[in-house]
Structure 1
Amino acid sequence: MKLHTAHRALLPFVLLLSLAASATTMLRADLPELAQTSDAIVHGTVRRVESRWSGDGRRIVTDVEIQVTEALKGQAQVGQAGGTVLVTQPGGRVGDIGQRVSGLAAFAPGEEVVVFLERRGKQAFRVSGMAQGKYQVQRTEGGKSAMAVPEPTGDVLLLDPDTRQPTASSLRSLSLTELKAAIRTALEQQQPPVRAQEKRP
């Protein structure tokens, strides 16, 4: 009986260690794949980051409002330059309560970004590939040149899509011009979906 009681006392501690030791696992995504599978791609500036309770009151989500400088894909979904896009992510902090989800992109007001987006409902989006779907735009003094730097994936375990073995991210820093050119090239190479009638012999 004493042994059983001791095990019960240790259980929360063991669970805590297990949760701390576990890391988010996701498939590595390369730039062409991100461009082709995303519903929209936006270059813009973060205007608002606000955490709130979800509608059912069980979890915290964070809304990120991005003012669009250029829509590189999905213009019909995100609107023209000057409009805004709402990105919603799980986790955040409301008052003294915080919820953290490993592997997500972080955003800050005033930050210039290029983001790859998946539609979530009628008005909201989420970042494709979690942190892999965000580049931060870093400009030199005077703003004459701009680099697009991929978001760090932190403690996320990336797996090769083919072998399912651990691997490193293939994303690298590019000039903003190079990144946009690579996105456009990937979209031009994307095969249009085959219509049902075209499949018939």
Structure 2
Amino acid sequence: MSIRRSVRTLVLAALLGGLPAGATTMLRADLPQMAQASDAVVQGVVRRVQSRWSGDNQRIVTDVEIQVTESLKGQPGGTVLVTQPGGRVGDIGQVVSGLASFSEGEEVVVFLEKKGATAFRLAGMAQGKYQVQRSASGTSAMAVPASTGDAVLIDPKTHQQSVSSAKPVTLEQLKTAIRAALQAQQGAPATKGTK
């Protein structure tokens, strides 16, 4: 089952009851699922973070421009534009829990889903971002998963409230796990409903 279809199922489950009112809910996704379901996975440096009004002037969105240093999946080009809801324009701000925050100069690994012709969104909301933290000497790097904040994670099999299984790992361990998931996907026989 794709993450997109699973999200629709989760929304239906939320409407039928059992989830806290007003809470952002999302399906918990493990690393292999994220890698396989994403249209692109890239490592890069955040060059620009800018909030703006949406085209209909009804909500605020934030554009995050990432300079790609390595593409782990897909061919997204030299830069990617990630757009997500929320942000601040002047004195007005909108907050959407469960989304990752970005800052200029930050090094990241992100799992992306296409959103239109040129933009992307994070796959799995905040679960789709790892911040790269390098040692002072620059000889080692850790990949730290973004916080999901106060969002409620739901186990995709049991539909019960869950916790994230993502843990900080070395950057090389993260890349190895992504490549292994993609290799397993290529070696697996195609089944109905998968990419």
Matched ranges for 1:48-197 at <5 A: 48-75=48-75, 78-79=76-77, 83-190=78-185, 191=188, 193=190
CA–CA distance in 2 between the matches of 1:194 and 1:168?
29
Cα offset, 1:194, TM superposition: 5.9
Task: Report how far residue 22 of structure 1 moved.
Answer: 2.3
- Counterpart in the other structure of 1:23: 23
Aligned pairs, how many?
Answer: 171
Q: Following TM superposition, where does structure 1 have runs of at least 4 consecutive aligned residues deviating by more than 6 angstroms?
A: none
TM-score normalised per structure 1: 0.82
Aligned residue runs from structure 1 range 31-50, under 5 A: 31-50=31-50
Q: Identify unmatched segments of 5+ residues in structure 1.
A: 1-19, 196-201
Distance 2:89 2:189 in 1: 44
Please give the per-residue CA displacement for 1:100-133, whole angstroms capped at 9, x wherever unaligned: 1110010000000000000000000000000000
Indicate the SS of the match to 1:64: strand
Report the 3-state secondary structure (helix = DSSP H, G, I; strand = E; otherwise coil) of the residue aligned with 2:71.
Answer: strand
What is the DSSP-based 3-state SS (H/G/I as helix, E as strand, rest coil) of the residue aligned with 1:154?
A: coil
Secondary structure at 1:179 match in 2: helix
Unpaired stretches in structure 2, ≥5 consecutive residues: 1-19
Percent identity over the alignment? Answer: 70
Shift of 1:23: 1.3
The structure with the largest alpha-carbon Rg is 1
**What RMSD over aligned residues (CA atoms) do the two structures have, in Å?**
1.5
Separation in 2, partners of 1:22, 1:194: 36
- So what's the TM-score if we normalise by structure 2? 0.85
Partner deviation per Cα, 1:30-50 (whole Å, 9 max, x = no partner)? 000000000000100000000
Specify the code of the residue in structure 2 equivalent to 1:181.
T
Q: Which amino acid aligns with 2:103?
A: A
The Cα shift of 1:142 comes to 1.9
